[in-house]
Structure 1
Amino acid sequence: MVLGSDLGRSRGTALAAAVVFVLAPALAACSDDGGGGGGAATATATATVGGAATAPTDAAAAEQRVRRNWQKFFDPATSAADKQALLENGRMMGPMLRAFNGDRRGGQVAAEVEKVTFTSPTEATVTYTLTLNGATALPDATGKAVLQDGTWKVSVTTLCALVALSGDASASAVPGC
């Protein structure tokens, strides 16, 4: 498994998107003591650019959920079932998720979300750092989060890019990407 992905997006594009989109401040000082699976209410856009919706109604709460779910997905302590629930189309992506988790380094990888930029009420670009055994392995990686069935999830394209970049031909041959 390679520790990161760019998904074909340049840093210039990500920077331009950050300038264009209105971001709500992270809720670093607040916590969600309600527990639960990180679900989100149906998104209704309030921020618009050229008439197109660019963020969920409560962007700050959505950002907190994206951050929490992204980090949980990449947490080695998270069960396979919970990871499946946090992956876009998780039920269909079981074989790909097993290939990703089956890599010997899978239990050593974690992600720290640095930035969430909403591109629509149901999608966000996530900038994150992947660590391997606590050491930075890939800073400033980018991926996508998607709102599916009321929950912010790691996109299939993000996981597929990580698997494809791993160089493990057997993992890359797993159906789903």
Structure 2
Amino acid sequence: MVLGSDLKRRNVGAVAAAAVLVLAAALTACSDDNGGGSSASPTPTVEQSTATAPADPAAARQEIKQNWEKFFDPAVSAQDKQAVLENGEQMAPVLQGFNGDQRGQQVKADVEKIEFTSPTEANVTYTLLLQGATALPNASGTAVEQNGTWKVSAKTLCALVQLSGNGSGSPVPGC
């Protein structure tokens, strides 16, 4: 038993030492500031975490919040809503159905949380208000960056149309 325990400790120590050596080699390769060579250096793990967000996350969050609130504002025209909806032209019939529903004409959204899942996609947590009263708290949707604009995803609209009962359990055309 003691011999086996000693071997396990050595293996853990060897793995930890190897991990430190690999990490040190990666950091040394990435910290070379001489600008020489045209081959790409490996990117350290710390920098890879930023790959899940756009270049300017604060500006993207602001645009997402603004466009979601525009999309769910009854005072905004269907054409303006279409401009902030993913594949807006193709989704026009679905949007028209959503806006044509009495409840769709009375909803607003309060964006509460935005989490980026990639440089061009984000999960959005929001509360849907119907005539100022909370109708759907902590709702989940997605935003996508399309042609330089952050938009409400088509799948979010389709899910809301299905939820509203307009789909009658059958697939909504366009979704």
Common topology (TM > 0.5): yes
- Deviation at residue 107 of structure 1 after TM alignment: 1.7
The answer to whether 1:144 aligns with 2:162 is no
Unpaired runs of 5+ residues, structure 2, are 1-45
Cα 1:55–1:47 shift into 2, 3 Å: farther
TM-score, normalized by length of structure 1? 0.69
Correspondence for 1:72 among 70, 73, 79: 70
Q: Say if 2:162 and 2:168, in contact at 8 Å, map to a contact too.
A: no
Which residue of 2 is the match for residue 98 of structure 1?
96
What CA deviation, in whole Å up to 9, does each residue of 1:56-88 have, x standing for no partner? 111001100000001100000110000000100
Distance 2:169 2:84 in 1: 20
**Where in structure 1 are there 5+ consecutive unaligned residues?**
1-45
1:71–1:150 Cα change, 3 Å: same
| Whole-angstrom CA distance in 2 between matches of 1:158 and 1:145 | 8
Q: Which has the higher contact order (CA 8 A, sep 6+)?
A: 1
Q: 1:135: how far off?
A: 0.6
Write out per-residue CA displacement over residues 11-66 of structure 1, whole angstroms, 9 at most, x where no aligned residue: xxxxxxxxxxxxxxxxxxxxxxxxxxxxxxxxxxx9633xx820011100110000
**CA distance in structure 1 between the partners assigned to 2:69 and 2:154 by the alignment:** 16
- In 1, are the aligned partners of 2:124 and 2:142 still within 8 Å (CA)? yes
Matched letter for residue 163 of structure 1:
V
Match of 2:48 in 1: 48
Could you tell me whether the CA contact under 8 Å between 1:84 and 1:94 is conserved in 2? Answer: yes
Letter in 2 for 1:156: A
- The number of residue pairs the alignment matches comes to 130
Which contiguous aligned blocks of 4+ residues in structure 1 show a shift greater than 2 angstroms? Answer: 46-49, 168-174
In the superposition, relative to structure 1, how do residues 47 and 147 fare at CA in structure 2: closer, same or farther (>3 Å)? farther
Higher helix share: 2
Deviation string, structure 1 residues 94-121 (Cα, Å, up to 9, x no partner): 1001011010112210000001100000
Percent identity (aligned): 67
Root-mean-square deviation (Å): 1.9
Q: What letter corresponds to residue 48 of structure 2 in structure 1?
A: T
Larger Rg: 2
